[in-house]
Amino acid sequence: MKTDQHQYGPDDTLVIDYRSLIEDHPHIITVYRPDTTILFANRMAREYFGADLVGRRWIEDLPPEHQKANLADLARFTPEHPVRIIENPVIRADGTQRWVEWTSRAFFDEHGRITHLQTLGIDSTERHRAREALEQREAELAEAQRIAHLGSWISDFENDEIRWSDEVYRIFGMTREQWGANHESFITVVHPDDREHVQQAVNAALRPDGPEYDIEHRIRRPDGTTRVVYQRGTVSFDDHGRPRRMAGIVHDITERRETEDRLQYLTWHDPLTGLPNRELFLQRLNESMEYACGRGWPLLVVHLGLDRFKGINEGLGHTTGDALLQRVSQRLEGALEEGDTLARIGGDEFGIVLGHSAEAKTLVRQAAGLVDHLKELFAIDGEEVYVPGSAGAALYPDDGSEPHELLRRAGAAMDQAKREGGNGLRFCSGERNTTARARVALEGQLRRAVYRQEGFFLHYQPRVEAGNGRITGLEALLRWQDPNGQVLSPGTFIPVLEETGLIRELGEWILREACLQHQRWKASGLPSPRISINLAAPQFRDQDLPRRIRRILAETGTPADALELEVTESMLMADVQRVIHTLGAFRDMGLRVALDDFGTGYSSLAYLQRFPLDVLKIDRSFVRDLDNGGSGEAIVRTVLSLAANLNLETVAEGVENLEQQRFLEAAGCDTLQGFLLARPAPAAQCAGLLARGVIAPDKR
């Protein structure tokens, strides 16, 4: 993927200034520290409270009786559940008290501590009062609903009749003549992709021991527009436990959902260029390192800064400077290859990950070409602007094994290029001797850890069925805590395990631990879906592997269909006849086999037909390219079509945003996996997800 920049028109020049959008947004938007000190407040926040909020603690704007509960609520934010919606009263500068509904998102550092929180506030005073009035005086219901934009409904199961309030008709964009007034008519208004999810929620609520009807989903109005609504209802049962009726409310939350999506986008992107920001760049770099590690390929991390940008910004004005940054980002993007990453990581600085080649010299030539691309003049508002660039580069794994380390060394090399006159490319020394000593020390630590089976543990990332969010499996992912207590990136230690052959012994531990965990969940009464395990190349080449797996299954009492083994394309092509024999042994045992990182190697239809496979995993680079449309979408559709022809299940890795999820579901992908749905987590944290059985699909 070259960039996450959104495309807005054929001329590719329209870039929305999200900073102005936030400042001028009609709702309250603030950013604050965990101690409630406000770091940012937009215009609506200042006008609403009648004061400059920055530097104040928002807890002081609450009535005293509400302060303790709201402070306690901060402890409920976790990395797994970073978003909360609360409602509380606030006291404004003029002494008046209002109610505000806050949608808050917490952000965490690598230790799981909250660094800051973002909030979107909507005045909910009238809605709050309307809810109180609803409980006291039913006669005031219609007016309260009109004020609060809440509709009410009653579903009479005995007569198969649904009655709506006037506000529900407005939300659904329908007249009484268009409404069939029964459950079948309601389901037809629900967005087709959400109907099964809604019906499941209704069915669950109709059980005497079932949960409340509480759901967000999309509706499709008669005029073709789509809205997002929140519904909640309570069922009344007769003496025999049969449902008689369900009464509930519906709330149109479309605008709030759109604002939350925009805030989410701003969290990870530069608003001027639309490129990934520094945080997303480092995340992408880490993913690229893991992928490169699996293939044995190098990565080149480039830190590029413009040499004369400050003078241009001051001489020609900030408007011209902003336009120049946009043009620079477009020119750099055009010079990248499929799978490379470009981000804006500072004022006039860009971060680039080059990793499309197995040859480091190819990446070096490309990096030099990026600097050359900036030597050509830029035409900005009738002015010809010359803005050369200086770049520094660090090579993975030679110059570092952690994203921050590589970017820091590339930045130091860029500074050196600037000191030497700019307009050039420099490489970091890499401190080769120090790196070599560290490599030897790491190998020694790993040998001891494998021998003692210390420090290794597994995290599990759920996979869900497209469309309904049902958890169908988990991928077991290896983690290691070194003797100093630091949990290292897999890209740091897995290559050493593979190069030294330690992965064979550790791979057996991974298989055994995954089987034992499967049985622990099963014994505790939890659903125990299939666990997917990555096989390393040295492990897969072991001709005794089928026998080892058979022994582990027998010793742990794990059924063979509880496991899925993942292999890569390069592993299949190493020794085709041996591979066919090994995969055949897996199938005879009842094990499922998945082809990982599909589309990045050598596979063709003719080759795939020779191997007994069950699953194709679409590589995360292709999923990432869906953000650019065009060829990315075409490639994914081709892979899905190929899988359908071979009667193989499909899994899409690296699903990070709603647009990717929606495309994959519409295109017919079977299973989704990625940070949007769930991050890898320890087994104890996964237990809660397994108990629910469903990770809710997006509410569209």
Q: How far is 214 from 205, CA to CA, in rounded Å? A: 9
d(CA 485, CA 197): 43
Q: Which range has the worst mean pLDDT, 56-65, 320-329, 573-582?
A: 573-582
d(CA 341, CA 363): 13
Backbone dihedral angles phi then psi of residue 514, each to the nearest 5 degrees:
-65, -40
For the chain, the helix, strand and coil percentages under 3-state DSSP, each to the nearest 5? 45, 25, 30
Answer whether 680's CB lies under 8 Å from 461's CB: yes
Q: Return the biggest CA–CA distance within the chain.
A: 87
Distances, alpha carbon 374 to alpha carbons 147, 367, 391, 407, 422, in Å: 56, 12, 11, 21, 12
Cα-based angle 552, 554, 559 (whole degrees, multiple of 5): 95
Percent of the chain predicted with pLDDT > 70: 91
> pLDDT tens-digit profile of 463-476?
999 989 999 999 99
CA–CA gap between residue 636 and residue 667 (Å, rounded): 8
Three-class SS state of 60: helix
- Inter-residue contact 450 to 506 (CB < 8 Å): yes
β-pair type (456-465, 671-672): antiparallel
Q: Where does the pLDDT of residue 288 fall: very low under 50, low under 70, confident under 90, or very high at 90 and above? A: very high
pLDDT at 148: 60
Q: What is the mean pLDDT of residues 674-686?
A: 92
426, β-bridge pairs: 392
**What long-range pairs does 220-227 form, CB within 8 A, spacing at least 24?**
220/189, 220/190, 220/191, 220/192, 221/172, 221/173, 221/174, 221/189, 222/173, 222/174, 222/178, 223/173, 225/173, 226/191, 226/700, 227/171, 227/172, 227/173, 227/252, 227/254
| Least confident piece of the model among 13-22, 108-117, 139-148, 512-521 | 139-148
CA pair distance 273, 250, nearest whole angstrom: 38
Residues paired with 593 in a beta bridge = 565
Which tens digit of pLDDT belongs to each residue from 104-130?
999 999 999 999 999 999 999 998 887
Look at residue 141 and tell me whether its pLDDT is greater than 80. Answer: no
660 vs 666: CA distance, rounded Å: 10
- Unique residue bearing structure tokens 């290896």: 478
Percent of residues, the chain, with pLDDT higher than 90: 49
pLDDT given at position 602: 46
Model-wide pTM > 0.75: no
Which tops the pLDDT comparison, 311 or 189?
Answer: 189
The pLDDT score that the predictor gives to residue 5 is 42
**How high is the pLDDT of residue 606?**
60
Average pLDDT estimate for 87-109: 93
- CB neighbours of 553 closer than 8 A, spacing ≥ 6? 515, 559, 560, 563, 589
- Is the CB of residue 572 less than 8 Å from the CB of residue 593? no
Task: Please write down the long-range contacts of 381-387, taking CB distance under 8 Å and 24 or more positions apart.
Answer: 381/320, 381/323, 383/316, 383/320, 385/312, 385/316, 385/320, 385/324, 386/308, 387/306, 387/307, 387/308, 387/309, 387/312, 387/324, 387/328
Task: Give the Cα-Cα-Cα angle 112, 116, 122 (nearest 5 degrees).
Answer: 125
Among 681, 215, 216, 623, which Cα is nearest to 471's? 681
* pLDDT tens-digit readout, 511-569: 999 999 999 999 999 988 999 999 988 889 888 999 999 999 999 999 999 999 999 87
- DSSP designation for 336: P
Average of per-residue pLDDT across 639-646: 89
> For position 138, what pLDDT does the model report?
54
Can 128-255 and 450-692 be said to share one CATH topology?
A: no
What is the predicted pLDDT for the residue at 8?
A: 43
**What CA–CA distance (Å, rounded) separates 35 from 15?**
35
pLDDT of residue 500 exceeding 80: no
Give me the architecture of the 128-255 domain, per CATH: 2-Layer Sandwich (3.30)
Indicate the domain borders of the chain: 18-123, 128-255, 275-430, 450-692
Q: How would you classify residue 525: left for phi > 0, otherwise alpha for psi between -120 and 50, otherwise beta?
A: left
Range with the poorest average pLDDT among 110-114, 187-191, 386-390, 436-440: 436-440
pLDDT > 50? residue 431: no
Residue 14 confidence (pLDDT) above 50: no
Tokens of 333: 């993007």
Please, which pLDDT band fits residue 489 given cuts at 50, 70 and 90? confident
For residue 135, what are the contacts with CB-CB under 8 A and spacing of at least 6?
Answer: none
pLDDT band at 2 (very low <50, low <70, confident <90, very high): very low
- Model confidence at 700, in pLDDT bands (50, 70, 90)? very low
Task: Provide the terminal-to-terminal Cα distance of the chain, rounded to the nearest Å.
Answer: 26
Closest CA to 627 of 15, 1, 16, 9: 1
At 13 the pLDDT is 41
Class of domain 275-430: alpha beta
pLDDT in tens, 237-255: 998 889 999 999 999 888 8
Tokens of 226: 């789509």
- Mapped onto helix, strand or coil, the DSSP state of residue 542 is coil
**Residue 319 confidence (pLDDT) above 50:** yes
Question: Which pLDDT does position 279 carry in this prediction?
Answer: 92
How many Cα neighbours within 13 Å face the side chain of 136? 8
- Mean of pLDDT values over 269-286: 92
Instruction: Domain 450-692: give its CATH architecture.
Output: Alpha-Beta Barrel (3.20)
Contact 468, 525 (CB under 8 A): no
Distances (CA, A) of 105 to 21, 549, 677: 19, 44, 16
Q: Which of the four pLDDT bands, split at 50, 70 and 90, describes residue 614?
A: very high
Mean pLDDT within 371-375: 85
**Mean pLDDT of all residues belonging to the chain:** 86
Domain 18-123: homologous superfamily in CATH? PAS domain (3.30.450.20)
- Alpha-carbon distance of 452 to 481, in angstroms, equals 13
Strand-pair category, 471-481 with 487-488: antiparallel
Banded model confidence at residue 621, pLDDT cuts 50, 70, 90: confident
Instruction: Single out the residue of 65, 54, 57, 56 nearest to residue 89, CA to CA.
Output: 65
Q: What angle do CA 456, 457, 458 make, to 5 degrees?
A: 140
